Structure 1
């Protein structure tokens, strides 16, 4: 595995809410891959190969006079980032039945014990969108269902569907580091029947699923929704997240145009995870 070089940005944000969420969303669209939230700071990481000195030019919140945001950056190697997340990564419990923890945390005997080593990948359960998607999955009957986890990051959502009885699961992410990390995590959780792919929506050609999970961002969701719908079996379920409360109407309108029905949504700190059916 290559020893990737990353650029670490350290942002001091005042007031932290809702500025940190907006900052992370805008940085994600600019190509930043991973984030660590500390008490009054946000750490953001991007591969040096994808970085340029003007990378922050389109980050609008930096010029918003309602917030005071200071930042600096430095070059780090992959191992240094791993130390950073190990120092900050705390296990989480979702609905008292699902635990997301690192290999160095002790299990506590919950029904679904997921061990994730995220490295540079999104999806530890700490971010609101991942947390809500886990909640949605815990409410679904996934037994013997076919599942797609699109934009899978660490693979945590795919792994939970496997633990709950899904029989055929694909996890797809466009980022090579996420692809490699998800492969590691499905093996770590003894769910290596999950198929992990590197790529984008083009991989969905001629594939069909009972449940499609996509936790990406608003613009990619809107662009790729027609392909998701083509790949959804009759009476299928589509779970979408990665967008804000104010984006829900736009996402729902697009889904309705594609003959999906809105069923319900969860909200957490202005983030949304919505459920649609056909």
Structure 2
């Protein structure tokens, strides 16, 4: 069925809103990466605070209440461990013990139900998902401003192409129960549209990367970014939420806007240190 003019108008307005929100976030991120110094971990603390609140919101709707301090304290510590190049073995063990201790002190779980296993799992996963993965941007920034910007730019390019193509020509849903608007057409075509940008940006910023690297990076950014998006959507759908929060009106919260980057930044970091 062909889409009517009014449907296209609504989609166009939605795209404009996304562009405005994206421009705001891009500006903040670019300035932060450019200045670097202590500003980068401080901005990450800001993200971790809001993202943890959204993450807890998922669990609270399942009547599970992760320990706030058990997630936030390690979550706040990890960016500074990365920033100051502190060996992770001893601090990592201490943080592990800290999470375990707080969980044991609340046995058999908070509130009404005995949720010890669920809560301690939520604590550890929250630290990994909300702090460790995105904090790899600090490690990537040590190799240069442009290097740290590359996975962000490619993710935004891929997501934009996937959304535009899917909105106009998408007919088949990629994962309808998780993300009704994400189409197979948009997801697939975005790989080909993003690839020239990967080649071009690699030639400018990572001259050691060749054509094969551009292929793998484009595939990795597209696949892992899509999985990251669907992963966060899965958490929302399980608890009956459309958005993680309303920090960005009409466009959800921090996890909604940055879900792809949570997977793509560590992917690119690992690829870069292996191949760069």
TM-score band by shorter chain is under 0.3
- With normalisation by structure 1, the TM-score equals 0.24
- With normalisation by structure 2, the TM-score equals 0.24
- Greater helix proportion: 2
Kindly name which structure, 1 or 2, has the bigger radius of gyration based on alpha carbons: 2
- Greater strand proportion: 1
Kindly indicate whether structure 1 or structure 2 has the higher relative contact order, using CA contacts under 8 Å at least 6 residues apart: 2
